[in-house]
A and B are shown apart, each in its own frame.
Chain A
Amino acid sequence: GAGVSQSPSNKVTEKGKDVELRCDPISGHTALYWYRQSLGQGLEFLIYFQGNSAPDKSGLPSDRFSAERTGGSVSTLTIQRTQQEDSAVYLCASSVAGADTQYFGPGTRLTVL
């Protein structure tokens, strides 16, 4: 079956602009995660959704970052007023609720000039 998909695969933006990153999880997976992979910080957890709710937003690095999930499926990660330190690969993962294994998408590479 289809895996986790993310779009765009690459995004180049100017400092100060807003960006939206999209994640389509595996069908039937109710848990969805966002991670960030950067040279300086490695792989970091950002946010978790169970269904449409986000009980854990502890990993979001600043109030410029927000995420939503609608219909228990697609999720959007929004970064407002992007900064150069936001440059990273943003990875999305999904899993069956209560299960251990997360399946990752190919990521979106964000470059902030």
Chain B
Amino acid sequence: AQSVTQLGSHVSVSEGALVLLRCNYSSSVPPYLFWYVQYPNQGLQLLLKYTSAATLVKGINGFEAEFKKSETSFHLTKPSAHMSDAAEYFCAVSSGSARQLTFGSGTQLTVLP
């Protein structure tokens, strides 16, 4: 069975600082991995995805993530945080014939002025 672990339920960074949100996965097969963002009272918006092509994946809003098989990690980064990045971020792995998503518990990102 697939699983996802997000380290840190809350992360605070200063505006302009590096954002690093951690995600580790467990998968018996090569995984498809995703990062989604959720703003208050909204649905989930796809930031980026890894589907066995390039290990460094670039997404929207300046975010990127690197797939590291040896570390079973897919951490999300952004060089310089903006106030508008404040939201909850979810890492997910796709599994099963239905390709349903298994989500991590989420990380709430706060950006301090």
Contact at A45–B43, with CB atoms within 8 Å?
A: no
Which of the segments A14-22, A62-70, A98-106 contacts the partner chain? A98-106
Contact at B101–A105, with CB atoms within 8 Å?
A: no
Cβ of B104: which chain A residues have Cβ within 8 Å of it?
42
Closest to B95 in A: A45
Which of A31, A50, A55, A91 sits near B44, CB closer than 8 Å? A91
Contact at B105–A56, with CB atoms within 8 Å?
A: no
Which of A4, A42, A100, A101 sits near B106, CB closer than 8 Å? A42
Contact at A56–B96, with CB atoms within 8 Å?
A: yes
- If A42-B105, A100-B94 touch, does A105 touch B100 (CB 8 Å cutoff)? no
What is the interface size of chain B, counting residues whose CB is below 8 A from a CB of the partner?
25
**Chain B interface, DSSP helix/strand/loop, else mixed:** strand
Tell whether B74 is near chain A: CB-to-CB under 8 Å.
Answer: no
Cβ of B32: which chain A residues have Cβ within 8 Å of it?
100
Tell whether B46 is near chain A: CB-to-CB under 8 Å.
Answer: yes
Find the residue from B42, B100, B101, B105 having the highest chain A CB count within 10 A.
Answer: B100
What is the interface size of chain A, counting residues whose CB is below 8 A from a CB of the partner?
23
Q: How far is the CB of B90 from chain A (nearest CB, A)?
A: 7
Contact at A56–B103, with CB atoms within 8 Å?
A: no
Contact sample, A vs B, 8 pairs, CB 8 Å cutoff: A35-B101, A42-B103, A43-B90, A91-B44, A93-B44, A95-B99, A100-B99, A104-B43
